[in-house]
Structure 1
Amino acid sequence: MSNKNSIVTKLAFLSVSFMVTSAYAIQGSLPQLKAALGISQPQSEYLVTTPSFAVMIFVVLSPLLQQWFHISDKKIIMAGVTIVGIAGLIPMFVNNYTVILISRLILGAGYGLYNSQAISLISVWYEGSTRAQMLGWRAAAEQVGQACTLAIAGLILSVAGWHASFLVYALAFVVLFFFAVRVPDDSASQDKNVAEDDLADDIAEEPKQITKISPVVYLLVLFAFILCIDYIGMENRFPGLAVQINGSQYTGSSMFLSLMLIGATLGGLFYGSIQKRLGFGTVYLGLGLMALSNFLFGFAGHNFIMMVIGLLLIGFPLQLVSPLIFNLLPDLAPADKQPLVTSLCLIGFNFGAFFSPTVGQWTNALLGQSLSGFGLAAPFPVYGAVLILIGVIIFFATRHSQKAN
């Protein structure tokens, strides 16, 4: 039986989160994909965000499949990672947009099979500050994975073209091997050990009794939805704007997208210490920094440096907020409702990611801006203003909930 506090065991569980955000690895290839397949800007963006639609469905189906077929957590996670590896490689061999889009849906199904387990197992194994730290590390693992897959796919793109860039999904099989070798398959025994380890803490401090789902949960779901519309939208539109500024032959977008994820990784790594100091105030810090990044990105115009600063800034505050959302849930809903509220927040994140191209298109239409050239930057000042408004709403809703309790 693996020691839950072993660094190797922790890395094994975090390793599966390494691939969860690899759907975005092909973002640097979008201008080339768009030209090669003869598709529109929203169609090219949907190649990145369509996996999120399948994630929403399979986040709900995954626990049901486990119950129906009596599948352990380890096996469902391994099945999901295997699907990611196989479906991710399919676009290497085809030129048909519809076939590639379907393969991306299957890729998302793989993510959805194990996404919630990667989060809930941390809540089962760890408590208090250790749980907050592990959730932050899990968020950091996602960003490290996205940075690595983006960088690798971008390097392959510059050498061998957009088809070959999908070879990056072969990394899923490396993750699968590490996870299979290191993580034990006795989930019940693991849960029992965790319960025994935490028994002294439970005796020392009786947990607060929660009888119903707090309305703050639904605000957090909305928050997750808007965060991903903004974050994924900026990632998707940066390559097109970079080409507009630097010329049609420019292929350096993947490098900057990878650098953006360094900030996101730092946000995940430092989340535990920041949350310990600021508590719920971490939400407001994250919102303020994200709004600032949107204004820099949206108003940059021909200033490539200003646009890059806005891009690089957005990752850090996102990873302050996303683990906080999951860390707050145990205090906002009864124990038997935790799977439900976790799934709701995951659906919020993934629906926002999936719907990001359409919201961006609608925002462009409302502003009277085209979906080409510098019109691609038009939605982001609006997103920044919305984030500030959401911060105000969360502030007053939280105060109301505290007074009610």
Structure 2
Amino acid sequence: MKRTPFKKIALLAGSFIVVTGGSIAANVPKIAEEFPTIPLQVVESLTTIPSLFLIFSVLFSHTIARWIGYKKTVLLGLGIVTVSGLIPVFVHNFWVIFLSRAFFGIGIGLFNSLLVSFIRYFYEGKERATMIGFQSAFEGIGGMTISFLVGQLLKISWQTSFWVYIAALPAFVLFALFVPDIPAEPSGFSGKRGADDARERDTEGKGKGKMRAGTFGYIALLFVVVMFYMSITVRVTPLMTTIGYGDATDGSNILSFIGIGAMAAGFLFGQIFTFIGKYTLPIAFLLLGLSLFAVGQSNSVLVTGLAAALCGFSFRTFIPYLFNKVNSSHTGNANLSTSLLLVGFNLGAALSPYGIALLEKLFRLASIRAIFTTEAAILLGFSAVSFGYHFFVGPRKAIE
């Protein structure tokens, strides 16, 4: 099948809007003023409600795709995102806006995991890992770009700022024009043809249970790591203002450093994975633990910013590693594994404040510095265990 640059761009364009559900957070104060009878917590939920409904729709996206086709399902999701994203521009009814945000999440969930299926079908080996890394990078770029544009358009009005979601329209057009449909049968996702398909189907049937067990371990790991990663978003501004070396603007800038590190990791993931291979996971844990430790000990905006960039880099090395891992294995249900990983990711992000609170209670943490230090210690422990496994258990298994 012809591999044009336009097909790659079209596959990545959808990822540009995947993590933009919370990008309208800057709108919350203005919307709260506009609808004074609506409780503030409900207004704030406009930023989180897409993630909750995304979790629901991502579980059924492959079932719908088998029914109406994979390409049509992606286009349906992009269409829902375009329409629901723009509804607040024209409607001045809070509950209609609230409902549109729910549909926005449903739309994202419909095509999010399917984009990985298309990448798995069209690409193999290093090229597949590179594309999954690029997908992660485009998610970061989209989140930063949309958040910036929201802030600029907010100077006109809060309703005008929702025009940012017109970005879903070119993604729809590009996908419709340049991405061919793919078959729904499991064998169609191997990226190989002929005799390889039969062999992989046989392997898949024999190893299905084993892969699923491993996937659940990945989901639990992802859930914990995402909660820790999100703590820098939730607590870095309070940390800086409490200690006295930064203000709210500095805290906002720190989040941009995270995005820069995340983008760099996404674009470099293919090369990183090729160079360090199975050690990608323990090294990602090591760097993430060191970055959170540096944030917790910092007394400088510059140091915190550099640590935040390392945090984004290491996290966005960890994420595509997991997705590449489950999509490169010939055992288990890769579609289901991808969907469940996305569920774990969004649950970890949504429950991060509660996870931090639980951590504070379990370890009796009395300061924000202690939170970051404890999370760093846990991640460094993950790194040590992972290194130990690859050094001692892995080689022994290979011999057996």
Bin of the TM-score, shorter chain as denominator length? 0.7 to 0.9
Q: 1:292: which partner in 2?
A: 290
- Asked if the contact 2:118–2:182 (Cα under 8 Å) also holds between the matched residues in 1, the reply is no
- Would the alpha carbon gap of residues 358 and 191 (structure 1) be closer, same or farther in structure 2, given more than 3 Å must change? closer
Tell me which of 318, 321, 327 is aligned to 1:321. Answer: 318
Secondary structure at the aligned position of 1:160 is classed as coil
- Would the alpha carbon gap of residues 379 and 267 (structure 1) be closer, same or farther in structure 2, given more than 3 Å must change? same
- Asked if the contact 1:21–1:142 (Cα under 8 Å) also holds between the matched residues in 2, the reply is yes
The worse-fitting range, judged by mean Cα deviation, of 50-59 and 254-263 is 254-263
Distance 2:221 2:360 in 1: 21
1:152-301 → structure 2 map (5 Å cutoff): 152-157=149-154, 159-160=155-156, 162-184=158-180, 186-188=181-183, 198-199=192-193, 202=196, 209=203, 211-212=206-207, 213-214=210-211, 215-238=213-236, 256-300=254-298
TM superposition score normalised by structure 2: 0.81
- Would the alpha carbon gap of residues 108 and 292 (structure 1) be closer, same or farther in structure 2, given more than 3 Å must change? same
Is 1:339 aligned with 2:331?
A: no
1:356-367 → structure 2 map (5 Å cutoff): 356-364=352-360
- Asked if the contact 1:217–1:332 (Cα under 8 Å) also holds between the matched residues in 2, the reply is no
Q: 1:65: which partner in 2?
A: 64
- Asked if the contact 1:28–1:254 (Cα under 8 Å) also holds between the matched residues in 2, the reply is no
The alpha-carbon deviation at position 282 of structure 1 amounts to 0.9
Q: 1:119: which partner in 2?
A: 116
Q: 2:20: which partner in 1?
A: 22
The alpha-carbon deviation at position 395 of structure 1 amounts to 4.2
- Asked if the contact 2:219–2:340 (Cα under 8 Å) also holds between the matched residues in 1, the reply is yes
Q: 1:385: which partner in 2?
A: 377
1:135-146 → structure 2 map (5 Å cutoff): 135-146=132-143
| Letter of the structure 1 residue corresponding to residue 126 of structure 2 | S
Percent of aligned pairs sharing the same letter:
29
Q: How well do the aligned residues superpose, as a CA RMSD in angstroms?
A: 4.0
Distance 1:172 1:365 in 2: 42
- Asked if the contact 1:151–1:255 (Cα under 8 Å) also holds between the matched residues in 2, the reply is no
Distance 1:289 1:362 in 2: 24
Distance 1:292 1:43 in 2: 37
- Would the alpha carbon gap of residues 284 and 40 (structure 1) be closer, same or farther in structure 2, given more than 3 Å must change? farther
| Letter of the structure 1 residue corresponding to residue 375 of structure 2 | Y
Distance 1:276 1:135 in 2: 13
Q: Which runs of 5+ in 2 are unaligned?
A: none
TM superposition score normalised by structure 1: 0.80
| Letter of the structure 1 residue corresponding to residue 288 of structure 2 | M
Is 1:129 aligned with 2:121?
A: no
Question: How many residues align structurally?
Answer: 389
The alpha-carbon deviation at position 150 of structure 1 amounts to 2.0
Secondary structure at the aligned position of 1:217 is classed as helix
- Would the alpha carbon gap of residues 247 and 292 (structure 1) be closer, same or farther in structure 2, given more than 3 Å must change? closer
| Letter of the structure 2 residue corresponding to residue 148 of structure 1 | T
